[in-house]
Each structure stands twice: as C-alpha cells, then as structure tokens.
Structure 1
Amino acid sequence: MTRPASPAGGEGASRPFATAMLLAAGIGRRMRPLTETRPKPLVEVGGKALLDHVLDRLPPAGVETAVVNVHHFAGQMEAHLAARRTPRILISDERDGLLDSGGGVRRALPMLGREPFIVCNCDSFWIEGPRSNLAAMTANWDPARMDILMLLAATATSVGFEGAGDYHLDPGGRLRRRREGEVVPFAYAGVLLIKPDLFDDMPAVFSLNRLFDAAEAAGRLFGRRLDGVWLHVGTPQAVQEAERRIALSSIQ
C-alpha cells in the first residue's frame, strides 16, 4: 500500500482505465450495529470483506492502481489494505472530513491521472456472468459519445435492492433518470466509467449526482446492463440475503 505525499501517485496512469477509485469513506449508518466496531467496507459477505470483493474485480479488467478513500475507522482500512498485492493501493485520506461522493473523487484526481477511470462503490458487488462486466464496460467505452458509462442492474433480479429503480435505458444505451411517481427497470449498480475533466471547476464537497444529471442533459450519460446477479449490501439484512444467494450460486 502506498500513501502518497504528492500528486505523483498517478503518474503511471497513461492509458484509460488503468486506475480506479473506490468510495470507501462512508460511516455506514444503515449497516449498524455491524459498523459500530469496523468500517462498512470491511463487513464480510461470503467469507470476504466487501472491499475485497470489489478490488478482486479490478485486475482482470486491466486496472493496475486503485485509490481508496478512508475516513471511518481509517486505521483499520489502512491495515487491511496493506496486505494486498494487486492492484496497487493508494490511500486518499479524508480523516479531516467527508467530501461526499464527487468531492472524494475530486480530491483523489492527482492519484487517478488524466485518463478516464473507474469509480466503484464498496457496498455493491455481483455474482459474475460468463464475462467480466468491467472488461465489457471498458471495451464498449466510446469517448466521442460518452462522458459517463454506468453499470446497471435489473431491479427484478437484484438482491438487497428495494425501490422503484433509478434509470430508464433506451435502445441506444442512453440513460434517463426516473421521474416522480415512475417505476423504471434498472438501478445504478455502483460502478461507472468517467472522464476526469468533468471534475474541473467543481466544489470541494459535492455529490456525483451533479455530474450524472449534467451528462444526462447533454445526452452523454450511457448505461450497460450487468450480466450476472447484483448484490446490493446496505443493511445487516441485506448481508444475510447476499450470503444466501452466494451459497445458492455455488451449488447451481
């Protein structure tokens, strides 16, 4: 694990998607009591920390470096990450205060580099289909049309997600956010590809939703359907549901 003192941490990111940002600094209030003694990304599902489920998906997609932001039980996070060998880990320290999802990425930009990169939530993972979903996303990235490409999960087959969905996906892959009172078939699965220049001139603290809405308005927000089963782990009950689904998949 590397904890850089200067922006040089991202100097090796010379191609798109060689780096990824893991949003891991949240307090995890909905996951209590499990998060009273540990950070949410270190809650275990299927015998492995949520954080490791996400990190293990990155190298097969060509990711060499992962930047992980830390805040809640930051020392535990750093100790856990120190044991990993791949991908290379850089720490973005938010002990001085949470910056929301967009602000967390913005602070880490010097480590992420100036090529498009991957952003992942640490409470979402999936049972993979026949091909790496991340590899499929990077292969389908089209910078001429896209500013953001999201991984989408079908709400009807997802585990741990309750709600009316997040986005409508048109036949060309463009996304439209769900309107008031509407039910849509897809949820944002917590993974996206994004251009770094979208963060230029943004404030220190802001939500990624601002960039999603701007890209949608410009017709440059796209989605790709997840091949597999999405496991959204946001509560202790959802941990149990995910455990059952993982156990079922192992005997199918």
Structure 2
Amino acid sequence: MILAAGYGTRLRPITHDYPKPMAEVLGSPLLYFGLLNMKKAGIKNVVINLHHLSSSIVQSIGKEHDGLNISYSFEETLLGTGGGVKKAEKYLRSNGNPFLLFHGDTLFDFDLKKLFKSHNNDLDYATLVLKKVENMRGYGAVGIDENGQIKSFANWVDYKGPPLKERFFCGIHLLSPKIFDVIPMHEEYCITRQGYPNLIKNNKRIMASEHEGYFSDIGTPLRLWQANMDLLCGKPILKNIDPFHRFEKSLGPKDKNGMLINEKTIWIGKNTEIDKDATIKAPAIIDDGAIISKGAQVGPYSIVGKHSFVNKGAQVHFSVVFSDTHVGQNEVCNHRIICKEHRVDVNV
C-alpha cells in the first residue's frame, strides 16, 4: 500500500496544484519510483489511498501500471496511516500474507526483498526499515535491542533498560495482517504515534530491518529540488532503481568501465525539438516531447519535463521544470522549481 492521501502542506505552493506523490523527480512523479520499488520486490497488487487532488493520481496511474494491478481506497476525510490501512483492509488482508506500506512522497533505493526475508509473519506485528544516520539530532530515534527488536519509538515510549542502538525510521513498514486487530475502525489513527508505541508497551514484536542506500523524504521544495540534483549528477550510487533507463538517447563521455559520467551527460527523451541555436549544458534532461526554442539555455543541472516548452531566450539553470509547463520568453530560472502555476525559488 502506498499512502498518497495527504495535503503536502510543507511542499506548498507546489501541492496547491499537484498531490505530493505527483511532484516530479527527473521528469517522473515520485509515485512512479515507489511503484518501481514494489515491482522490483516482486509485488503484483498495489493499493493507493487517496484524498487530496485524487483524480490526477487515478488519471496518471490507472488500474494497471507497468504490470502492477492498482486498486484505490478513497478517504472522504483523512484517516492517518493506521486509519487509511484499516479502510483498505479488504484489499490487504485477503491472502494472509504480510504487506508493504510506505508514503508516496519518499524516494528510496533499498533492497526490499531483504525486508521480506527478515519478517516473521507469525510472530511479528511489523518489521520497519531503519537506516543509520550520522547525526540523529532532529530525528525521532528508534531504539533496537541486540535481537533486532524495537524497544523505543521516538518519545512515545517510556523505555527504561540497557542502552539501545538508535536508528532513523524511513517510514517503510512490512505488516502482518494481525495489525488490523489493533487499529480502530472509522477514525483517524496514526500507526507510528499510537499503534507501535502501544504494541511495544505490551511487549509485542516490532522488529527492525536495517538497510543501506539512498533515501529522501520529499517534504519541502528544497528537498524536492535536492533530490533532483542528487540523482541528476549521480551523487547516490543506485542499485535497485534506474531513473535513466527510459530515455531514448544520452550524450556524454563514458568512464573506463564504459559507464556514463552523470555530471557530463545530457539525456534526451522521445519526440523532442531542440533548436540548433539553443544551448544545452550537462548534466541535463530534455524529456519526451519537450521543446527548446531558439536562443534558450538549459543547464547545467536542469530538467525539462515532458511536453514542456522553453521559449526564446529563456535561461534554465540549476532548475526543475515540471511536465506540461511553459517557461516564458527571456525568463531567467536559477535554483528554481517551475510548475504550471507557480515558480518556487529554493535557498541552497
């Protein structure tokens, strides 16, 4: 299940026009990366809960996406993580197997098969993906004992005992169906603030699965911009997802192993129109159907989304242009996210 119902208030004004999971990274909605992770893990059936701007998600994803069967759980009022899971119980509990749960606004590159292997469906209520973070200050630390069992959860569990190993919770859960027995019906309920602390206090098994790999919580415009820049320049070494596989061609040198050097590469999609007098500087993406006009400059470190139009003389540097967006004549965009209705400058 992918949680996609929230308002995304911290990402405003972008989320005035887009539900947060439809914010774009390298020209694709965040939700697409979540679905790709599910497919890589061998999952075939996906539930997405919806509320804010739900129609745009349904229109983009449909009932089938890249071989995945998609169902939707509509919430008239927001129910929180636990309440949303409870409402979708008919989809998630049918076969008695554990199910994956994560937020549609997270971008991660983890081996989820490892998570499934570590989970005991009979004994564990949940297994949570944790990551080592250099400085835990500002994060709600999860404490795990020597057996990998979670004994403290942020400040919601009053733990007294031997010192615990502290890790960051990535918001990725693998849940046994018995979790439904502890979630109330028809009310807002947070599984992390209410469900897990209550289970831990009653000595029920909530287990940890530690993972290494790229993770970003796309909660603010700056984080969204940074995720685009990180992936565009190849800063994280991705092992489980390839955000560049769909591009028709790439222009740039290769290293001694025959691999593209991200910081020196231009990726070009299908049916693009790039004027001979336009300038494209690597790294950059010109996505499917995009038009770059005479005298326009794109890059370095820039993405022009699908079917977007960069008008004459416009400059797009260190910026992200969402799909179906118009950049005006002679408009200068620097360290900016450009959407259909809004321009959001980021302070780096």
TM-score normalised by structure 2 residue count: 0.59
Task: Specify which of 113, 119, 141 is matched with residue 119 of structure 2.
Answer: 141
Alignment pair present for 1:173 and 2:129: no
Alignment pair present for 1:118 and 2:100: yes
> Does 1 or 2 have the higher relative contact order (CA < 8 Å, sep 6+)?
1
Task: Give the distance between the partners of 1:149 and 1:30, measured in 2 at CA.
Answer: 28
Alignment pair present for 1:85 and 2:61: no
Task: Give the distance between the partners of 1:192 and 1:46, measured in 2 at CA.
Answer: 26
TM-score normalised by structure 1 residue count: 0.81
Deviations 1:70-96 (A, max 9, x none): 1111110110111623311001111x2
Q: Indicate the residue corresponding to 1:4 in structure 2.
A: none
Q: Indicate the residue corresponding to 2:5 in structure 1.
A: 25
- Where do 4+ consecutive residues of structure 1 move more than 6 Å? none
Q: Indicate the residue corresponding to 1:203 in structure 2.
A: 185
**What is the SS of the residue equivalent to 2:35?**
helix
Task: Give the distance between the partners of 2:172 and 2:53, measured in 1 at CA.
Answer: 24
Q: Indicate the residue corresponding to 2:25 in structure 1.
A: 45
How far off is 1:249 after superposition?
2.9
**What is the SS of the residue equivalent to 1:105?**
helix
CA contact (8 A) 1:67 1:92 kept: yes
Change beyond 3 A, Cα 1:245–1:193: same
Task: Give the distance between the partners of 2:21 and 2:52, measured in 1 at CA.
Answer: 10
Q: Indicate the residue corresponding to 1:15 in structure 2.
A: none
Structure 2 unpaired stretches of 5+: 238-260, 263-348
Deviations 1:127-166 (A, max 9, x none): 34xxx2x100101111343111001122228xxx972333
Q: Between the two proteins, what is the percent identity of the paired residues? A: 26
Task: Give the distance between the partners of 1:86 and 1:211, measured in 2 at CA.
Answer: 33
Q: Indicate the residue corresponding to 1:215 in structure 2.
A: 199
Task: Specify which of 230, 234, 238 is matched with residue 223 of structure 2.
Answer: 238
Task: Give the distance between the partners of 1:77 and 1:109, measured in 2 at CA.
Answer: 21
CA contact (8 A) 1:165 1:178 kept: yes
How far off is 1:191 after superposition?
0.9
Change beyond 3 A, Cα 1:72–1:173: same
> Quick check: which one's strand share is greater?
2
How far off is 1:214 after superposition?
2.6
Change beyond 3 A, Cα 1:164–1:69: closer
Task: Give the distance between the partners of 2:118 and 2:24, measured in 1 at CA.
Answer: 32
CA contact (8 A) 2:37 2:109 kept: no
Task: Give the distance between the partners of 1:219 and 1:171, measured in 2 at CA.
Answer: 16
> Which structure's CA Rg is the greater one?
2
Corresponding letter in the other structure for 1:87 = L
Change beyond 3 A, Cα 1:185–1:195: same
> Quick check: which one's helix share is greater?
1
**What is the SS of the residue equivalent to 1:155?**
coil
Change beyond 3 A, Cα 1:127–1:43: same
Deviations 1:172-212 (A, max 9, x none): 111121348x9974221111111222223613221112221
Task: Give the distance between the partners of 1:28 and 1:188, measured in 2 at CA.
Answer: 20
Structure 1 unpaired stretches of 5+: 1-20
How far off is 1:245 after superposition?
2.1
CA RMSD, 1 decimal: 2.5
Task: Give the distance between the partners of 1:37 and 1:162, measured in 2 at CA.
Answer: 33
Deviates more, 1:138-147 or 1:63-72: 138-147
Q: Indicate the residue corresponding to 1:249 in structure 2.
A: 236
**Count of equivalent residues:** 224
